[in-house]
Amino acid sequence: MPSKSIQGSIVLGQALDWQAQHDEATQHLERAARRNPSFAGASTARAYHCVMTGAFAEATDLMQTAIRLRVGDNGLGLCLPAKALAELHTEDIESALQTAHWAARLKPDFWLVRQVLAAALLAAGEKEAARDAVARMCQDYEGLSGEEFAAWFPYSSTDIPSPIADTFSYFGWQ
């Protein structure tokens, strides 16, 4: 079990990342990784940070470490969306779809898993399945626009394309 200071650094870094304060998050996530490089949570948090900031190859490497460290860990489903997003961004569509399906088996109700699965399905050309997934999310998150819902995953720059926002837009969920 990692120390409370390592866990605190991860939680603070993640909170800052999810509030789109990516520069501030970096120091906390790096501190946790330096103090315990074999802690899966640190690799996972850093992988999400890398996807949010456009470092997709690094995110994939960090997720491979996290997966290796999380074998048998029920938190695996929470970290797989970062891997699938990195794979979508690097146009490894087949891997992204496999990862998204894996995440959906582990955490079918996690909102980010659902978003990533829809994006991976569309990227793989499975338009009907992607449309159905988006329609279910549109119903489940009634009152949110597709743009608002896609922004729940905060990229550090508008220069980084969002496969999730693109998927919602493709099916008319503005």
User: What single DSSP character describes residue 153?
Assistant: S
The per-residue pLDDT for 4 is 81
Q: How confident is the model at residue 71 (pLDDT cuts 50, 70, 90)?
A: low
| C-alpha triplet 91, 40, 71: angle, nearest 5° | 80
At residue 131, φ and ψ (nearest 5 deg) are: -60, -45
For residue range 73-100, what is the model confidence (pLDDT) as tens digits? 667 888 899 999 999 999 999 999 999 9
Does residue 23 contact residue 53 with C-beta atoms inside 8 Å? no
Q: What domains can you pick out in the chain, each with its CATH number?
A: 4-170 (1.25.40.10)
The per-residue pLDDT for 2 is 63
Q: Poorest-confidence range of 9-18, 124-133, 151-160?
A: 9-18
Q: Is the pLDDT of residue 1 over 70?
A: no
Query: Distance from first CA to last CA of the chain, Å, rounded?
Result: 43
Distance of CA 96 to the CA centre of its chain: 11
Residue with token string 């969306």:
81
> What is the reported pTM?
0.91
Q: Where are the beta strands (DSSP E) in the chain?
A: none
Q: Poorest-confidence range of 41-45, 46-50, 54-58?
A: 41-45
Residue with token string 């960090």:
62
Does residue 49 contact residue 160 with C-beta atoms inside 8 Å? no
